[in-house]
Amino acid sequence: MILPIFSISLMATSYPYFTKNEFFHIKKDYGVIAKNRVLDYQKTISSYKALSKENQLLKVNFYLNQLLPQYDDIVQNKVDYWASPKEFLMIGFGDCEDYVIIKYFTLIKLGFDKEKLFFTTVFEKHLRSYHMVLSYFDKNGKAPLILDNLSFRVLRLDVRKDLKADTFINESGVYRLKDNKLIKIETHSPKFEELHLRVKKES
């Protein structure tokens, strides 16, 4: 059975948002540093609202790349666990998927069209391993802009010669890219939908 696609339109202007009660529990369970990290996130992202879309992309990528990288089996005791933005901010560590997820929801929070944002699996040629980045298709017929935790620059995919794109994932399905056009290969991504279930419970 295919799960329904969960609309996040109601969350778009707020998630991730933390209540006073959540801040109390963050300080109690994760400490003062975690609480301050979450407060800084809310204040910083709010300050980006008046910027142009181009500057928002640059600022969000740079700011969130300052969170520290760590592998899932160390942070979550699970392999290939997709942390929600709230989990990532509270813990303060994550792997490439976690950076993609928090950037995705942060850009939606700033008013970006979620239909133009895609979790993107790539092969990183220098590291010779698979990796995940966030793609933003800002212009029809153009390669997407790439937000990557391995780079503070936001460049188009066709400029990133170190990356070979594999799949593009969002609410509408799983795609491959050919001649800068997306071709659907799957109707849904179970991991993407499972993540949205957890986000819905957090909201």
Q: What is the pLDDT of residues 131-151, one digit of tens each?
A: 999 999 999 999 999 999 999
Domains and CATH numbers, the chain: 20-202 (3.10.620.30)
Model confidence at 75: pLDDT above 70: no
Q: For residue range 78-116, list pLDDT tens digits in order.
A: 557 899 999 999 999 899 999 999 999 999 999 999 999
- Measure the CA–CA gap between 3 and 18, rounded to whole angstroms: 27
Name, in order, each residue with C-beta under 8 angstroms of 15's C-beta and a sequence gap of 6 or more. Answer: 8, 85, 105, 108, 109, 199, 202, 203
pTM of the model: 0.89
The tens digit of pLDDT for each residue in 155-173 reads: 999 999 999 999 999 999 9
Portion of the chain with pLDDT greater than 90, in percent: 84
What pLDDT, on a 0 to 100 scale, did the predictor assign at position 122?
A: 98
Q: Is the pLDDT of residue 71 over 60?
A: no
Confidence band of 67 (pLDDT split at 50, 70, 90) = confident
According to the model, what pLDDT value does residue 76 have? 44
Q: Is the pLDDT of residue 188 over 90?
A: yes
Task: Say if CB 102 and CB 126 are below 8 A apart.
Answer: no
